Amino acid sequence: MRILFTGGSGKAGRHATAYLRDQGHRVTNLDWAPSDTPGIAHLTTDLTDAGQVFNACRAYASPDELEPGTGVPQYDAIVHFAAIPAILHRPDNETYRINTLSTYNVLDAATKLGIPKVIFASSETTYGICFADGEVKPDYLPVDEEHPTVPQDSYAMSKVVNEVTARSFQARSGIDIYGLRINNVIEPHEYREMFPAFMENPALRRRNIFAYIDARDLGRMVECCLQTDGLGYQVFNVANDDLSVSLTSAEVIERFYPDVPLKREMEEFETFYSNEKARRLVGFVPNHSWRDELAQ
Ligand SMILES: NC(=O)c1ccc[n+]([C@@H]2O[C@H](COP(=O)([O-])OP(=O)(O)OC[C@H]3O[C@@H](n4cnc5c(N)ncnc54)[C@H](O)[C@@H]3O)[C@@H](O)[C@H]2O)c1
Ligand SMILES: O=C(O)[C@H]1O[C@@H](O)[C@H](O)[C@@H](O)[C@@H]1O
pLDDT at 122: 99
Pocket test for ligand 1, best of 182, 209, 237, 244 (most atoms within 8 A of CB): 182
pLDDT at 282: 99
The domain of 144 spans 2-295
Helix (H, G, I), strand (E, B) or coil at 79: strand
Q: Which long-range contacts (CB under 8 A, 24 or more apart) does 228-231 make?
A: 228/281, 228/282, 228/283, 229/117, 229/176, 230/176, 231/176, 231/178, 231/281, 231/282
Count the domains in the chain.
Answer: 1
Helices (H), 58-189: 92-112, 154-173
pLDDT at 117: 98
pLDDT at 296: 84
Q: What is the ipTM of this complex?
A: 0.98
Helix (H, G, I), strand (E, B) or coil at 232: coil
Is ligand 1 within 6 A of the CB of residue 99? no
Is ligand 2 within 6 A of the CB of residue 125? yes
Task: Select from 130, 106, 100, 102 the least CA-distant residue to 119.
Answer: 106
pLDDT at 256: 98
Residues 242, 26: Cα–Cα separation, whole Å: 32
Residue 220 sits in a domain whose CATH number is: 3.40.50.720
For the chain, how long is the longest CA-to-CA vector? 65
Q: In ligand 2, which atom is closest to the CA atom of 208?
A: 11
Ligand having the closest approach to the CA of 10? 1
Mean pLDDT by 10 residues, the chain (296 residues): 98 98 98 96 98 98 96 98 98 98 99 98 98 98 98 98 98 98 98 98 98 98 98 98 98 98 97 98 98 94
